[in-house]
Copies of this chain bind each other. A is one copy, B any other.
Amino acid sequence: MTGSLAPLRSAEIIAVGSELLGSTRIDTNSLFLADALASLGIALRAKAVVGDRRGDLATMFRLALERADLVILTGGLGPTDDDLTRDVVSEVLGLPLAEDPAIVADIEARFAKRGMRMPAINRRQAMVPHGATVLENPNGSAPGLLMNVGDRVVVLLPGPPREMKPMFERVATFVLSRRARRERFYRATILVAGRSESHVDEAIQPIYAPLATAVPPIETTILATPGQIEVHLTALSDDPEIARRALASARDRIAAAIGDDAFSLDGRSMEDIVGGLLLGAGSTIAVAESCSGGLLLSRLTDVPGSSAYVRGGVVAYSNDVKTAFADVPADLIAAHGAVSEPVATAMAEGIRARMGATIGVGVTGIAGPGGATPTKPVGTVAIAVAGPAGTTVRTVRFNGSRAQIKHYASQSALDMVRRTVARNAAVRRD
C-alpha cells in the first residue's frame, strides 16, 4: 500500500509551547529528531517554535505542510486549555475529532494505578482526528498521533523528551522507514585540537573541495566549538557499503593532512580518547589542579570505566595544599609564584609520585576575574604532564570567562596527556 507513495525526503519540525519562547528553556528535541531523520534519508528543512496561540500554530503548520513531506509537531498534547496541537491540526486538515474510548480507559488505568480518579480534563487527551493512528505512550498520559495526508505524513508527539524519543523511534522503525527513500545520510566526524578553524580549513580544503562533486557526494562542515574544531562529513547514498567506504577514505585522508592534531575519528570526546589510550597502555593517571578547580578530574571521570585508570587527584587552590598534598616545595612557590612552569612541573611530578600513577598532571593558572598580575594576566595557565619519559610543561594564555578558561585549561591538559601517552606507546613499539 505504501509502496505506491513517493518517498519522504524532507521534514519540518514545529515545537509548540509558550515556555519554549522564554530565556530559560530550549527545544533540544529537534537535535534528536534531526539525527533520527538523517538516518532515514530525510533532510530537516526548517524548524520553528510557536507559543500557545491557535492562529500562529495554524499558519506555521500550513506552511510546513506546503513545503515538507513530513511534519512533526512536538508538545501541546497535554490536558489543559493551552494544549492546542490536536485541535489546530484537526482543524487545518479538516479531520473532525472524536473521543477514543480505548485511550480514556488507558488514562483512567494510569490514574487508578496511583490510587487516583482521572480528572475530567484528561478526556481531551483521548480526542483523535478522524482516521489518525494512535501512538501509545508508555511514559506519560498523552498519546501521539500519526496521519497520512495524501502522500504527506503528520506526526504529533508529546513534548517531554523521555516520552517523545521512544515514541518517535517506534514511528521511525514501523512507519517512516517504509516510506524512506533508498538514499540515506551517512556521517563521519574528525575532532581536532591545537589548531584554529582557519588553519584546519587551509590544510584540508584541497581534500574536501573535490569531494562535494564526487560519487557519492560528500559535504564538509567545519565548526569551532570550545577547545576543539569539528570536521563533519555527510554523504548521501543508496548503498551503505559505498557510503561508509567513501566516508572512511575521506576521513582518513583529512586526518592524515591534519596529523597528530586530529584526535578523534569516531566522534568520541577528548576525555574518552585519553581514557582509551591510558587503558590500552595499562597506565594510570593522577592530577593536581589549581585554576581548573576539579574540572579536569571531573572530565576524566565522566568516562564510564574510568575508575580502572584514574587514581585520583588533588584540587590545590591554596599554596599550602599544593605543598602538603602534591609535595610542591614552599620555596619553589615563593621563588616563581604559584602560576609558573616550575610549580606546574612540581605539581605533576609530586602527585604522580604520591599517588603512584604512570602519568601525573599539574595545572596552575589564573581563571579570573581576579588574581591577575602585570606579567600574568587572567587566562595565563601553566600545564605540566609527567610520565616515565620525563615531564613536558607549557604556558598558555586563554581568553574568555572564568568557565571558559577552566574548560580550555582542562582541554589543553587532556590534549597534552593524549600526546604524551601516544608518544610513550610509539616509543615502546619501536
Q: How many copies make up the complex?
A: 2
Contact present for B317 and A311 (CB under 8 Å)? yes
A256 at the interface (CB under 8 A from B): no
**Which residues of chain A from 293 to 323 have a CB within 8 Å of any chain B CB?**
293-302, 304-307, 310-318, 321
Q: Does any Cβ of B come within 8 Å of A46's Cβ? A: yes
Residues on the B chain within 8 Å of A26, using CB? 26, 28, 31
Interface pair B51/A49, CB less than 8 Å apart: no
Q: Known A46-B21, A59-B63, A314-B314; judge A293-B304 contact (CB<8 A).
A: no
Give every chain B residue within 8 A of A132 (Cβ-Cβ): none
Is A252 part of the contact surface with B, judged by Cβ < 8 Å? no
**How many of chain A's residues touch chain B, expressed as a range?**
35 or more
Given A294-B295, A297-B315, A312-B314, also A302-B371 (CB < 8 A): no
**Dominant SS among interface residues on chain A:** mixed
Min distance, Cβ A256 to any Cβ of chain B, angstroms: 23
A403 touches B47 (CB 8 A): no
Stretch at the interface among A32-40, A208-216, A240-248: A32-40
The verdict on A93 contacting chain B, using a C-beta distance below 8 Å, is no
Q: In residues 1-56 of chain A, which contact B (Cβ within 8 Å)?
A: 19, 21-26, 28, 31-32, 34-35, 38, 44-51, 53, 56
Interface membership of A324, Cβ < 8 A: yes
Q: Of the candidates B35, B301, B305, B368, which one forms a contact with A304 in the assembled complex, judged by CB atoms under 8 Å apart? A: B368
Whether A34 touches B46, Cβ cut-off 8 Å, given contacts A296-B294, A312-B314, A313-B314, is no
List B contacts of A367 (CB < 8 A): 301
Contact status B302-A402, CB under 8 Å:
yes
Chain B residue with the shortest CB-CB distance to A288: B312
A34 touches B22 (CB 8 A): yes
Residues on A close to B: CB < 8 A? 19, 21-26, 28, 31-32, 34-35, 38, 44-51, 53, 56, 59-60, 63, 67, 221, 223, 230, 232, 287, 292-302, 304-307, 310-318, 321, 324-325, 354-355, 367-371, 402-403, 406
Shortest 3 CB-CB contacts between residues of A and residues of B: A293-B301, A294-B297, A23-B35
Listed A/B pairs (28) with beta-carbon separation below 8 Å:
A19-B223, A22-B38, A22-B232, A23-B31, A26-B28, A26-B31, A46-B49, A46-B51, A47-B48, A48-B49, A56-B67, A59-B67, A293-B301, A294-B301, A294-B313, A294-B315, A295-B298, A295-B301, A298-B298, A298-B406, A304-B402, A306-B317, A307-B318, A312-B314, A312-B325, A313-B315, A314-B325, A324-B354
